[in-house]
Amino acid sequence: MIFTKTKITKMPTGNLCLRLAADLEKAEFTLAANYFAKQTKSIALFRIDNSDNPTRLLLVKWRPFFLSYDLAIRGLILESTMEWCNSVVEELNQLFSKLSFAEENQQLIKS
Protein backbone atom coordinates (compact mmCIF):
# COMPACT_ATOMS: atom_id res chain seq x y z
CA MET A 1 0.00 0.00 0.00
CA ILE A 2 1.36 3.39 -0.96
CA PHE A 3 0.43 6.57 0.81
CA THR A 4 0.83 9.02 -2.05
CA LYS A 5 1.06 12.12 0.07
CA THR A 6 1.62 12.81 3.75
CA LYS A 7 0.88 16.10 5.41
CA ILE A 8 0.90 17.40 8.98
CA THR A 9 -1.74 19.92 9.99
CA LYS A 10 -2.32 21.64 13.31
CA MET A 11 -5.71 21.39 14.96
CA PRO A 12 -7.18 24.32 16.94
CA THR A 13 -6.26 22.53 20.18
CA GLY A 14 -2.56 22.62 19.26
CA ASN A 15 -2.46 18.89 18.56
CA LEU A 16 -1.00 17.69 15.29
CA CYS A 17 -2.83 15.64 12.72
CA LEU A 18 -1.21 13.43 10.07
CA ARG A 19 -3.03 13.03 6.76
CA LEU A 20 -2.08 10.00 4.66
CA ALA A 21 -3.53 10.17 1.15
CA ALA A 22 -3.81 6.79 -0.56
CA ASP A 23 -6.75 6.90 -2.99
CA LEU A 24 -8.75 4.54 -0.75
CA GLU A 25 -12.41 3.72 -0.73
CA LYS A 26 -14.17 3.67 2.63
CA ALA A 27 -14.59 -0.10 2.30
CA GLU A 28 -10.79 -0.47 2.29
CA PHE A 29 -10.36 1.30 5.64
CA THR A 30 -9.91 -1.91 7.64
CA LEU A 31 -7.15 -3.12 5.33
CA ALA A 32 -5.42 0.28 5.42
CA ALA A 33 -5.78 0.54 9.20
CA ASN A 34 -4.24 -2.91 9.63
CA TYR A 35 -1.35 -1.92 7.34
CA PHE A 36 -0.82 1.28 9.33
CA ALA A 37 -0.86 -0.65 12.63
CA LYS A 38 1.66 -3.17 11.31
CA GLN A 39 4.04 -0.49 9.99
CA THR A 40 3.93 1.51 13.24
CA LYS A 41 3.83 -1.52 15.57
CA SER A 42 0.81 -0.02 17.27
CA ILE A 43 -1.85 -1.64 19.42
CA ALA A 44 -5.54 -1.31 18.56
CA LEU A 45 -7.49 -0.51 21.69
CA PHE A 46 -10.96 0.12 20.31
CA ARG A 47 -12.84 -0.08 17.00
CA ILE A 48 -15.79 2.04 15.98
CA ASP A 49 -17.21 0.60 12.75
CA ASN A 50 -20.04 2.88 11.78
CA SER A 51 -20.98 3.58 8.19
CA ASP A 52 -20.18 7.31 8.33
CA ASN A 53 -16.72 7.36 9.82
CA PRO A 54 -14.90 4.14 10.75
CA THR A 55 -12.35 4.86 13.49
CA ARG A 56 -9.71 3.06 15.52
CA LEU A 57 -8.21 4.11 18.83
CA LEU A 58 -4.54 3.11 18.66
CA LEU A 59 -1.56 3.17 20.95
CA VAL A 60 1.48 4.22 18.93
CA LYS A 61 4.70 4.31 20.94
CA TRP A 62 2.51 4.17 24.06
CA ARG A 63 0.60 7.32 23.10
CA PRO A 64 -3.13 7.38 22.18
CA PHE A 65 -4.30 8.35 18.68
CA PHE A 66 -7.48 8.24 16.63
CA LEU A 67 -7.12 6.75 13.14
CA SER A 68 -10.05 7.32 10.79
CA TYR A 69 -11.00 7.51 7.14
CA ASP A 70 -10.93 10.96 5.52
CA LEU A 71 -13.14 11.31 2.45
CA ALA A 72 -11.55 14.62 1.39
CA ILE A 73 -8.14 13.04 0.78
CA ARG A 74 -9.44 9.49 0.28
CA GLY A 75 -6.99 8.24 2.86
CA LEU A 76 -6.31 7.98 6.55
CA ILE A 77 -6.12 10.69 9.15
CA LEU A 78 -4.26 10.20 12.42
CA GLU A 79 -5.26 12.63 15.14
CA SER A 80 -3.21 13.04 18.28
CA THR A 81 -5.25 13.18 21.45
CA MET A 82 -2.83 15.34 23.45
CA GLU A 83 -0.08 17.81 22.66
CA TRP A 84 2.61 15.51 24.04
CA CYS A 85 1.82 13.13 21.17
CA ASN A 86 2.99 15.64 18.55
CA SER A 87 6.57 14.32 18.36
CA VAL A 88 5.25 10.89 17.35
CA VAL A 89 3.18 12.47 14.55
CA GLU A 90 6.34 14.08 13.17
CA GLU A 91 8.22 10.76 13.36
CA LEU A 92 5.40 8.94 11.55
CA ASN A 93 5.32 11.58 8.83
CA GLN A 94 9.00 10.90 8.15
CA LEU A 95 8.47 7.13 8.27
CA PHE A 96 5.59 7.10 5.77
CA SER A 97 7.29 9.62 3.50
CA LYS A 98 10.30 7.28 3.28
CA LEU A 99 8.13 4.17 2.84
CA SER A 100 6.13 5.80 0.07
CA PHE A 101 9.27 6.89 -1.75
CA ALA A 102 10.86 3.43 -1.44
CA GLU A 103 7.73 1.60 -2.65
CA GLU A 104 7.34 3.93 -5.63
CA ASN A 105 10.95 3.31 -6.65
CA GLN A 106 10.50 -0.46 -6.37
CA GLN A 107 7.44 -0.33 -8.61
CA LEU A 108 9.35 1.74 -11.18
CA ILE A 109 12.21 -0.75 -11.17
CA LYS A 110 9.83 -3.72 -11.66
CA SER A 111 8.11 -2.13 -14.65
CATH number at residue 37: 3.30.160
This prediction has a pTM of 0.81
- The whole-number average pLDDT for the span 54-74 is 91
Measure the CA–CA gap between 25 and 28, rounded to whole angstroms: 5
How many other CB atoms sit within 10 Å of the CB of residue 110? Answer: 6
Number of structural domains the chain divides into? 1
Q: Predicted confidence band at 98 (pLDDT cuts at 50, 70, 90)? A: confident
How many other CB atoms sit within 10 Å of the CB of residue 34? Answer: 13
pLDDT value at 102 more than 80? no
Which range marks the domain in which residue 73 is found?
A: 5-110
46-63 pLDDT per residue, tens: 998 877 789 999 999 999
Task: Give how far the C-alpha of residue 101 lies from the chain's centroid of Cα atoms, to the nearest Å.
Answer: 16
